[in-house]
């Protein structure tokens, strides 16, 4: 139990960092931000928060570490690429367009939720993440390629670090001349 008490603090720190990076950059334009853009910012912060709350509610210590690893990796990779690539945003505001941090963080959290706890939780998380990506393009903060690469980074990080929780999970599988379903049972 003592070990588990450390994880809420880590989740709070990760959530605070995510909120800072996701919404802090938007402070200078908050007065002119529209409802759609603001809802995308909220969604980008809400998905990782929901992942943390879901994990804590299940007292899932292993899942907590998997979430921290996948989310942290996605955010770190995205921030590193932003400062290496230096692509100008569609609105000309700065040169940190590629890749989208909103997309990578929301898809890392949604991918974690789906992989760890199944499609019942994952489908709504992916729907919100997709909406978040659309808001970034609509607000002219990112190009389509920025959000696609951000989503791939987040999704990939969640696949690398996350294993299914207890139960049976069904995942679609595709490959060269291969289409099917993967059944996973954990005990």
Q: How many domains does the chain have?
A: 1
What's residue 14's pLDDT?
A: 58
Each residue's pLDDT tens digit, 14-69: 555 555 555 554 444 444 557 777 888 888 999 999 999 999 988 899 999 999 99
What's residue 47's pLDDT?
A: 94
CA–CA separation, 79 vs 66, rounded Å? 20
CA–CA separation, 132 vs 79, rounded Å? 18
Cα angle 168, 174, 178; round to 5: 110
Each residue's pLDDT tens digit, 123-174: 999 999 999 999 999 999 999 999 999 999 999 999 999 998 876 556 677 7
Helices (H), 30-143: 35-57, 61-85, 101-117, 119-138
The packing angle between helices 101-117 and 144-161, to 10°, is 30
Contacts of 49 (CB under 8 A, 6+ apart): 15
What's residue 27's pLDDT?
A: 46
Each residue's pLDDT tens digit, 77-130: 999 999 999 999 999 888 999 999 999 999 999 999 999 998 888 999 999 999
Domain hosting 145: range is: 2-186
């Amino acid at each position: 139990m003592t070990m588990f008490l450390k994880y809420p603090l880590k989740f709070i720190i990760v959530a605070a960092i995510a909120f800072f990076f996701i919404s802090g950059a938007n402070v200078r334009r908050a007065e002119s931000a529209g409802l759609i853009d603001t809802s995308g910012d909220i969604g980008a912060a809400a998905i990782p928060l929901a992942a943390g709350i879901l994990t804590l509610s299940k007292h899932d210590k292993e899942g907590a570490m998997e979430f921290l690893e996948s989310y942290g990796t996605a955010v770190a990779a995205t921030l590193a690429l932003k400062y290496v690539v230096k692509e100008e945003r569609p609105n000309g505001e700065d040169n940190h367009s590629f890749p989208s941090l909103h997309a990578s963080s929301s898809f890392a959290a949604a991918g974690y939720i789906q992989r760890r706890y199944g499609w019942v939780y994952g489908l709504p998380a992916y729907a919100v993440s997709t909406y978040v990506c659309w808001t970034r393009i609509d607000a002219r903060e990112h190009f389509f390629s920025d959000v696609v690469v951000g989503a791939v980074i987040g999704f990939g990080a969640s696949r690398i670090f996350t294993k299914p929780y207890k139960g049976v999970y069904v995942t679609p599988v595709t490959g060269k001349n291969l289409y099917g379903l993967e059944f996973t049972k954990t005990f």
